[in-house]
Structure formats: C-alpha cells, structure tokens
Amino acid sequence: MYCIFCEIIARREPARVHYEDEDVIVFENRLHWTPIMLLVVPKKHLNQKELWADLGKVGRVAVELGEKLCPNGFRILSNFGHDAMQSQHHAHVHVLGGMHLGPYV
C-alpha cells in the first residue's frame, strides 16, 4: 500500500525537513493551519496505537522542536481514526504553534 510518509522518508517525495536521525524525521505539514505545523514521524511504519504505546524518541523530539520553534507555547496532538480526521495511517504526532491556538473544539 502506498504511504506518503514512507515516500518522504525514502526521499521519493519532497518535504521541508526540520530534523532527522536514524529513527525519527520531522517535516512541515503541507496544511498550514498555524504558522508552525510539523509532523513528527517514526521512520519505522507503525500505526497510531503502536506509536502511543511508547512515544519514546518521537515524544522527546516533538517537545524539543516545540520549545525551540514555539517559545510562547505549542500543542502536540494526534488523530486516531476517521472521526478524528486521521488521513495518514503511518504513525505521527503534530506540533502546532506560532500563534495563540484558542480553545479546544
């Protein structure tokens, strides 16, 4: 099955990469709902449930980049399933910030 995140990791699709090591890659989301909208993605293809069972390095990198790029605060979120608008099956977390984010829906 085609996975855009796996294609980005393999460098067959373009992305603006902010961080990369042997386990994690961080790139800008193509959606621009907030000034900072990053995707923190494990290089190993996991689903959301597998990732959240042990956030490990993905969690650490998300917090580090959030603190660096959004010094006034940021939000980390993850969507699970259709009703939550999960559009990619490859596990990931979003780092959102760069503005006042307002209340939750």
Q: Which of the residues are catalytic?
A: 92
Determine the 3-state secondary structure of 93 from DSSP. Answer: strand
Candidates 90, 1, 84, 20; CA nearest to 49 is 90
Task: Look up residue 16 and give its two tokens.
Answer: 């603006």
User: Using CA atoms, how far apart are residues 1 and 102, in angstroms rounded to an integer?
Assistant: 37
Contact 66, 57 (CB under 8 A): no
Determine the 3-state secondary structure of 68 from DSSP. Answer: helix
